[in-house]
Amino acid sequence: MGIILCIDDDEAILHYEKALLERSGYKILTAASAQQGLRLVTICKCDAVLLDYEMPGMKGDEVACEIKRIRPGLRVILLSGSEVPTHALASVDAFVPKLEASWQLLPIIAELCGQTERAHRVKTDRSRRS
């Protein structure tokens, strides 16, 4: 299974996400702020990022844009307990309302990480043929 970075300023949410994902076989990195999360994106190899929309200092869509600038292929899933403006969804690969995370999150992560893994395999196969 892959490595997932969870970024949320709410420690209880981070604990919940970590427990849910670890039970499904994922390795989890956590960050309690946007700045800490961006630092981890630059130094750690992760397969996807779960990102809260409402955080102090930077909104989730701003963090997502920065993540995509640093690592364009990294999958970003935005989570929110409230309404998110439509423009904020343009920079992420998926959106999950926090109230639906318990049943929506795992299938979405599996699908997005599967796409990343398949794309990597195709790229590797092509480079071996060359």
CATH code assigned at 27: 3.40.50.2300
Across the range 43-72, mean pLDDT stands at 94
Share of the chain above pLDDT 90, in %: 67
Across the range 22-28, mean pLDDT stands at 93
Kindly report the backbone phi and psi dihedral angles of residue 14, in degrees, each rounded to the nearest multiple of 5, phi listed first.
Answer: -60, -45
pLDDT of residue 119 exceeding 90, the answer is no
pLDDT of residue 12 exceeding 80, the answer is yes
Neighbours of 110 (CB within 10 A): 15
pLDDT of residue 103 exceeding 50, the answer is yes
Provide the total of helices (H) and of strands (E) in the chain, helices listed first. 4, 5
- Decide if 93 contacts 112 (C-beta within 8 A): yes
| Structural domain of 60 | 3-129
Indicate the number of domains in the chain. 1
Tell me what pLDDT residue 120 has.
42
- Band of pLDDT at residue 115, cut at 50, 70 and 90: low
